[in-house]
Amino acid sequence: INEYNYTTYHPMNEIYDWINGIAKKHSQFVTQHLLGLTYESRPMQYLKISQPSENHKKIVWIDCGIHAREWIAPAFCQWFVKEQIVQNYQNDQRIRKILQNLDIYVLPVLNIDGYIYSWTKERLWRKNRSQYGNGTCYGVDLNRNFNVSWCTHRSSTNCSSNSFCGSSPVSEPETRAVVEFVESRKADIVCFLTMHSYSQLILTAYGYSTGLSRNYNEIFKVAEMAASAMEKIHGTKYRAGPFSKLLYEASGTSQDWVHDLGIDFSFTFELRDNGSHKFTLPEDQIQPTCEETMAGVMTIIEYVNEKYFPNKASTTVFN
Q: What are phi and psi of 29, to 5 degrees?
A: -140, 5
Interface positions with Zn ion (CB under 5 A): 67, 70, 196
Q: How far is the CB of 168 from ligand 0X9 (least distance, A)?
A: 19
Q: Site map for ligand 0X9, 235-264, x if CB under 6 A?
A: --------x---x--x--x-xx--------
Q: How far is the CB of 220 from ligand 0X9 (least distance, A)?
A: 13
Task: Clarify whether 291 is annotated catalytic.
Answer: no
Q: What are phi and psi of 237, to 5 degrees?
A: -80, 130
Pairing of strands 189-197, 58-64: parallel
- Which of residues 209 and 305 has its CB atom nearest to ligand 0X9 in the complex? 209
207 is a site residue for ligand 0X9 (CB under 6 A): yes
Pairing of strands 265-271, 239-242: unpaired
268 is a site residue for ligand 0X9 (CB under 6 A): yes
Q: How far is the CB of 317 from Zn ion (least distance, A)?
A: 37
Q: Site map for ligand 0X9, 115-154, x if CB under 6 A?
A: ----------------------------x-----------
DSSP string, 17-55: HHHHHHHHHTTTTEEEEEEEE-TT--EEEEEEE----SS
Pairing of strands 102-107, 43-49: antiparallel
Closest by Cα among 274, 285, 267 to 224: 267
The answer to whether the beta carbons of residues 272 and 281 sit under 8 Å apart is: yes
User: 83, 249, 270, 302: which one is catalytic?
Assistant: 270
Q: How far is the CB of 207 from ligand 0X9 (least distance, A)?
A: 3
**Cα–Cα distances in Å, from 81 out to 9, 200, 241, 243?**
15, 21, 27, 27
- Which of residues 16 and 269 has its CB atom nearest to ligand 0X9 in the complex? 269
293-303 burial: b if 16+ Cβ within 10 Å, else e: bbbbbbbbbbb
Which residue has the closest beta carbon to ligand 0X9? Answer: 243
Please list the active-site residues. Answer: 270
Which residues would be at the binding site for ligand 0X9 (CB under 6 A)? Answer: 67, 70, 143, 196, 203, 205, 207, 243, 247, 250, 253, 255-256, 268, 270
